[in-house]
Structure formats: C-alpha cells, structure tokens
Amino acid sequence: MKPCANQQKRIAALALDLLEPHPARELQAHLEICAGCRDYLAELTRVAEQLAATAPSEELPASDQFHRRVMARIEVRPDGPDWRVIWGILRAVPTGWRLVLPLVVVILVLTRIGVGHSPKTAVEVHSPAPASVQVAAGDADADLAPTVANYQRIAEESPDKLDELLARQEPPTARAMPVYTASSRTLRF
C-alpha cells in the first residue's frame, strides 16, 4: 500500500525525530488507521537507524607528525601579495581613509599610465629619420636629411631633382614597391 501523499513529509519528520509534539499526536492517530503510512514510517525509520549505526566511531589519534605537517603547509607563504595582511592594515585605518586610500592608489596608477602615453609633440613628428637611411657620400642633395621640409624645398626647385633624391635615398629592399613620382604624377611599378 502507498502512503497518503499529504502525510509523507510529516512521516519523514517523525522518522527524523523532527516533528513537534502536537502534529506528532495527530500523525499517530492517522497511523492507527492507515496501513500504507505505517509501512512508510517503518521503512524510513529503518533507514534512519541504519544511518545512525554507520556513524564513524573509530578513533584515530592525531600524531605530532600530523600536526607538524599541517603547520608546515600553513606557514608556507603563498606567492604574490598577502591579502590577509593588506586587509588587516586597511581595517586598522579609519573608515573615511579606507575609501580614500584605494582611490589615491587608483589615481596614481592612472596618472602614471597617462604620462607614459602622452601625445608626441610637433618637434618629435619632424624628427630625423633613423640612422638606417643611408645617403651617397659627396652628393650635396644626398646629404640632405630626409625631412618633409627638405623635400618641399627640392620639389620647388625641380620635380626631377626630387625624383632623383628620392631614388637615391630609397632603401634597396623597397625598390620593388610602387613609387609615386613627382614629375609624372602617375604610379610607376
């Protein structure tokens, strides 16, 4: 026989010894007339008794070696910051400063990052090219630094001169690349 669906929780509570006296009396009255619920209570009680019987009882005294091993593992300092110590310091600081201190740290970090990424000035934009740009010795135009201002000045004198200068100053590996010439105003491959 099956137990009554509306009594199952109360029966489980009774088997676990968790039912208050008043509902327990009500349930006992029901159990006297319901065989299904009685069987169900008997099964749950048997399970509860078996659980209680398997509770650990064997003593295993802790040796000094056991204790020393635990302490050795605890006393090894972890890598990285000791957050327990940091938290202890923060806790000691008054509440107002507890908010202000992290903010100050964040602002300092942001300021440092901001300085590292400051925009380049106009002077830096017109700075000379790297020393890897080689020019032919003894040639007056070739001695010119490869700056936009110099190229503009040569182009005003003659577009052909600018072509020659660019050809001379061009690195050998870049010769295969398309070049825009000042004289022809076309793309040359």
Residue 164, both tokens: 């020659």
Q: Is 43 in the site for another protein (CB under 8 A)?
A: yes
Phi, psi of 57 (to 5 degrees): -130, -10
Q: Are 14 and 24 in contact (CB under 8 A)?
A: yes
Q: Is 62 in the site for another protein (CB under 8 A)?
A: yes
Q: Is 74 in the site for another protein (CB under 8 A)?
A: yes
Other CB atoms within 10 A of residue 85 CB: 9
Mark the segment that binds another protein (CB under 8 A) among 73-81, 98-106, 123-131, 141-149. 73-81
What is the smallest separation between the CB atom of 75 and another protein, expressed in angstroms?
5
DSSP 131: T
Can you tell me which residue has the tokens 């380049």?
A: 120
Q: Is 15 in the site for another protein (CB under 8 A)?
A: yes
Q: Is 13 in the site for another protein (CB under 8 A)?
A: yes
- Selected from 6, 57, 95, 173, the binder of another protein by CB under 8 A is 57
Q: Is 50 in the site for another protein (CB under 8 A)?
A: yes
Alpha helices in the chain (DSSP H): 8-15, 21-33, 35-53, 64-75, 83-92, 95-116, 122-125, 148-157, 159-169
Binding site for another protein (CB under 8 A): 8-9, 12-13, 15-16, 18, 43-44, 46-48, 50-62, 66-67, 69-71, 73-75, 82, 84-85, 88
